[in-house]
């Protein structure tokens, strides 16, 4: 099945919808599939292809181009070197031997290394440079770290369209060329932000600010549907990337024999009684995407773990490493759990999250089954969190 659609006169979506993919980088769950969007822009004199597709779906891109009777492709704009957008470049260059790859100097290095494209095939562009297609002009906006250091955005001046590749995108397989169901896209875009963009939050803010200089009618990312109302996604990003946190406690936990579970249940109840929103994640079968999404806004994380061979449970280690890598804007953290004969869980876990710039609140780690003293300590921790949230101005009372 091919997917050939026109966004504006002489601007076509020629990419592929991947309905079946369920995992990205062998790490990130894709419950709703994804798409690899590629756009063909036909100017009066030259034709440009913006991004390609994952090599597993090269046939769809090639068929779409054939059906459009594209003729020559003069330029392939590579906004980003990751293979889900660049992986079909070698085949495109073979089929369209006159085409040049247009990208940032850093992107050229990466593409030469990862796809073995010859250096003669490249035109490198600096920030703000333009490329004329005749009656259409492409302007390149260097935007490092939306996802990798080499990323850029491409602005089509006459049509006021911004091609953003990963930035502002969503892992969502849909036949909609443009957003129709905002709630669904919001969820998918937030998941995408949490998993891909959140580690670069300070840079994301700078890149968002730069977009204020552009008049944008359409944002066309390379994953998920395009936006006819750019403020829908720009405002969502401004919120997620801001320094504001919400009155929420995320509790990723696991329990082996039920003691940690008893503590987590009591603690969650204590937080709810104090007017705090709680998001619980049992790590035995986690959707790490949902956990990442919860970390986008929360003020506090409290990790619940039993002790395994004096350290935290390995599934908790995995979640802690992931949270550390994603660098959410959390303000406070703590640890609760139970051990049998001895534990170095608190020292080990805190050592695993150096990227989280949090204040550590007194952990509650008890020997064996939790009793009255443990529950009182959990209540004190809940009080402490409520006070911290009040100081932040995110909880009433
Ligand atoms: Fe969609 Fe960073 O690649």
d(CA 108, CA 9) in angstroms, rounded, equals 30
Asked if 268 and 251 touch (Cβ cutoff 8 Å), the reply is yes
Q: Which two tokens stand for residue 243?
A: 């320094």
Query: What count of Cα atoms within 13 Å lies in the side-chain half-sphere of residue 74?
Result: 12
Are residues 119 and 44 part of one domain?
A: yes
Are residues 274 and 150 part of one domain?
A: no
Residue with the two structure tokens 């395994």: 308
The alpha carbon of 60 and the centre of ligand 1 are apart by a number of angstroms equal to 18
Ligand 1 site, residue 84, Cβ cutoff 6 A:
yes
Are residues 144 and 275 part of one domain?
A: no
Nearest atom within ligand 1 for CA of residue 36: 1
d(CA 185, CA 163) in angstroms, rounded, equals 18
Q: Whose CA is nearest to atom 1 of ligand 1?
A: 166
Give 258's contacts (C-beta < 8 A, 6+ positions apart): none
The alpha carbon of 317 and the centre of ligand 1 are apart by a number of angstroms equal to 26
Residue 66 belongs to domain with CATH number? 3.60.15.10
Are residues 169 and 32 part of one domain?
A: yes
Residue with the two structure tokens 């803010």: 205
d(CA 185, CA 360) in angstroms, rounded, equals 35
Q: Can you give the residue range of the structural domain that contains 72?
A: 3-241
Q: 310 lies in a domain?
A: yes
pLDDT for position 27: 76
pLDDT for position 397: 61
Nearest atom within ligand 1 for CA of residue 147: 2
Between helix 288-297 and helix 182-192 the angle, nearest 10°, is: 90
Neighbour tally for 375: CB within 10 Å: 17
Are residues 329 and 270 part of one domain?
A: yes
Domain end point (choices 216, 241, 266): 241
Are residues 21 and 139 part of one domain?
A: yes
**Phi, psi values for residue 296, rounded to 5°:** -60, -40
Residue 276 belongs to domain with CATH number? 3.40.50.360
Q: Show the low-confidence residues of the chain (pLDDT under 70).
A: 1-4, 397
19 SS3 class = coil
pLDDT for position 3: 46
Q: 23 lies in a domain?
A: yes
Q: Where are the alpha helices (DSSP H) in the chain?
A: 58-67, 83-86, 89-95, 105-115, 182-192, 201-210, 230-241, 259-273, 288-297, 314-326, 345-351, 372-392
Nearest atom within ligand 1 for CA of residue 223: 1
Domain end point (choices 241, 274, 301): 241
270 SS3 class = helix
Q: 396 lies in a domain?
A: no
Are residues 66 and 7 part of one domain?
A: yes
Asked if 125 and 28 touch (Cβ cutoff 8 Å), the reply is no
pLDDT for position 203: 95
Are residues 79 and 116 part of one domain?
A: yes
Q: Is 204 exposed, middle or buried (0-12, 13-18, 19+ CB in 10 A)?
A: buried
Are residues 129 and 264 part of one domain?
A: no
Give 181's contacts (C-beta < 8 A, 6+ positions apart): none
User: Domains in the chain: how many in total?
Assistant: 2
First to last CA, the chain: 58
pTM for the structure as a whole? 0.94
pLDDT for position 71: 87
Domain end point (choices 241, 270, 296): 241
pLDDT for position 296: 98
CA-nearest of 103, 92, 22 to 61 is: 92
Q: Is 149 exposed, middle or buried (0-12, 13-18, 19+ CB in 10 A)?
A: middle
Give 163's contacts (C-beta < 8 A, 6+ positions apart): 39, 50, 51, 77, 79, 153, 154, 155, 156, 220, 221, 222
Q: 397 lies in a domain?
A: no
Ligand 1 site, residue 82, Cβ cutoff 6 A:
yes
CA-nearest of 294, 164, 299 to 244 is: 299
Are residues 143 and 93 part of one domain?
A: yes
Q: Which two tokens stand for residue 299?
A: 């003020």
């Amino acid at each position: 099945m091919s997917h050939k659609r026109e966004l504006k006169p002489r601007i076509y979506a020629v990419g592929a919808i991947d309905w079946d993919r369920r995992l990205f980088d062998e790490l990130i769950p894709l419950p709703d599939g994804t798409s690899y969007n590629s756009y063909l822009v036909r100017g009066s004199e030259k034709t440009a292809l913006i991004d390609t597709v994952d090599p597993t779906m090269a046939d769809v891109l090639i068929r779409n181009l054939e059906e459009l009777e594209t003729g020559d492709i003069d330029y392939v704009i590579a906004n980003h070197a990751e293979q889900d957008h660049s992986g079909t470049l070698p085949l495109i260059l073979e089929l369209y031997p006159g085409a040049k790859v247009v990208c940032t100097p850093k992107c050229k290095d990466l593409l030469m290394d990862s796809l073995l494209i010859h250096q003669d095939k490249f035109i490198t562009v600096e920030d703000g440079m333009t490329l004329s297609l005749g009656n259409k002009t492409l302007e390149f906006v260097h935007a490092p770290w939306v996802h990798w250091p080499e990323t850029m955005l491409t602005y089509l001046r006459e049509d006021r369209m911004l091609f953003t590749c990963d930035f502002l995108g969503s892992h969502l397989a849909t036949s909609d060329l443009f957003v129709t169901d905002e709630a669904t896209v919001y969820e998918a875009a937030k998941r995408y932000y949490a998993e891909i963009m959140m580690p670069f939050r300070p840079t994301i803010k700078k890149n968002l600010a730069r977009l204020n200089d552009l008049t944008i009618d359409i944002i066309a990312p390379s994953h998920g549907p395009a936006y006819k109302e750019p403020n829908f996604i720009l405002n969502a990003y401004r919120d997620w990337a801001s320094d504001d946190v919400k009155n929420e406690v995320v509790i990723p936990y696991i329990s082996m024999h039920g003691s940690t579970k008893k503590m987590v249940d009591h603690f969650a109840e204590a937080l709810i009684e104090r007017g705090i929103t709680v998001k619980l994640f049992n790590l035995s079968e986690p959707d790490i995407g949902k956990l990442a999404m919860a970390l986008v806004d929360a003020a506090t994380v409290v990790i619940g773990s039993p002790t395994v061979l004096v350290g935290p449970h390995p599934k908790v280690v995995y979640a802690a490493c992931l949270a550390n890598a994603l660098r959410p804007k959390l303000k406070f953290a703590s640890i609760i759990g139970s051990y049998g004969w001895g534990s170095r869980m608190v020292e080990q876990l805190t050592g695993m999250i150096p990227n989280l710039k949090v204040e550590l609140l007194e952990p509650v780690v008890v020997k064996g089954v939790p009793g009255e003293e443990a529950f009182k300590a959990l209540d004190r921790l809940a009080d402490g969190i409520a006070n911290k949230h009040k100081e932040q101005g995110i909880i009433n009372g």
